[in-house]
A and B are shown apart, each in its own frame.
Chain A
Amino acid sequence: MVNFFERLGSKTIGLLHASGQSGLFLLRILWQKPDFVRIWPVLSEQLYFVGVLSFLIVVVAGLFIGMVVGLQGYHTLQKFGAISQVGQLLALSITRELGPVLTALLFAGRAGSALTAEIGLMKATEQLASMDMMGVDPMRRIIYPRFWAGMIALPVLGLIFSMVAIYGGYWVTVQWLGVDPGSFWSNMQSAVDFRTDVLSGVIKSIVFAFLVIWVALYQGFECNPTAEGISQATTRTVVYGSLAVLGFDFLLTAMMIGGW
Chain B
Amino acid sequence: MAKSTFQPDEIVLQKEEYSYGFIIEVLTSGLYPNKYHVLREYIQNSYDAIKTWRKQTGNPKYGKIQIKIANPSITIYDDGVGMDWEKINQYRYVGYSEKKTGEGVGFRGIGKLSGISVADKLIITTSPAGVGKRYQLVFNADAMLAHIMLLKLKGENISLNDLIKTHTSLSQFEEDPDIHYTMVELYNIKSDSMLLMDEAQVIDYLGMTVPVDFDPNFQYGQIIDEWLRKYVSDYDTVQISLDGKSIYKPYIPELNYPQKNFVYAYDDDDTQASNSGAGEPLAFYWYCEHATKGQFLDKKKRGMFYRVKNFTVGTNQLPRISLWNTTPERAYYFWGEIHICDPEMIPSSDRENFEQNNARERFYQYGAQISKTLNTLAGGSSAKRKAKEFIERAEELILTIQNEAQEGKIPTEIKFSKMYNIKNAVVSVENRLKDAPKDYQERGEKIIESGNALIENLEKESFPSDASKLVYDIREEINLGGEASKVYEIIIQCIDEELRDNPNLFERLIKKIHTALSGHSQFRKSI
B is a partner of A: no
